[in-house]
Amino acid sequence: MAIHPLIEQDKDYIISLRRWFHSHPELSMKEFETAKRIEEELNAIGIPTFRVGATGVLGVLKGRKGPGRRVVLRADTDALPIQDEKTVPYASQCPGVMHACGHDAHTAMLLSALQVLSAHREEWTGQIVAVFEQGEETSYGVIPLLEHLEAQFDGMDGCFALHVYAGAPAGTLSVQPGHVMCGAAGFDVVLTGKGGHSSRPDLCNNPVDCFVSIY
């Protein structure tokens, strides 16, 4: 199956999807219309969908050539609290909200990939689990999706998630091993001191001193 000609055929579809998502941005964990549009697109090509949490969407596509590997394809869907100052027809219709991190493109690309895979499902084996992640900007939206995948599937053979990058030349792909972009993770630190009197600081244990050193 030659992929490039199929994608070229879908070029207008991909562009129209991306522009729709760009003009209808929604903040993290509030991607209700976005999730609805994703479900409509997937259902139209025969892919059943499942809501995970309020706005996470998961779709499963099976190849008809036989059993095989199970692979996750993932996109994120939320926008950022930024004013869109573009004057193009597809500029954000939501004041103070904008797809400034490329999630509109990520979602459109995954939907297009699924359309191609669905149209040619007689030619491949295995199973595609499409994950449209809610609230990626919060770092917490993925948790219910991961829990759902763990509960419903007995493991995955691979996972692919891409990101647009303004630093790469147009029309190119950057493929590198290991971690490429940073993520966010939170942790707690508890500092315990010992009280006393300012006249005998040598008998005290001031946690602020420790905190300053850590900081």
Positions marked catalytic = 78, 136
Both tokens of 201, joined, read 């600081």
Both tokens of 210, joined, read 């420790």
User: Among all chains, which residue has been given the structure tokens 């993932």?
Assistant: 74
Measure the CA–CA gap between 192 and 79, rounded to whole angstroms.
Answer: 40
Measure the CA–CA gap between 162 and 214, rounded to whole angstroms.
Answer: 35
Distances, alpha carbon 195 to alpha carbons 133, 166, 190, 192, 213, in Å: 47, 53, 16, 10, 19
Burial class (CB in 10 A: 0-12, 13-18, 19+), 80: middle
Q: Quick one: DSSP state of residue 98?
A: B
What are all long-range contacts of 61-64, with beta carbons under 8 Å and residues at least 24 apart? 61/114, 61/117, 61/118, 61/121, 61/127, 61/128, 61/130, 62/121, 62/126, 62/127, 62/128, 63/121, 63/122, 63/123, 63/124, 63/125, 63/126, 63/127, 63/128, 64/121, 64/122
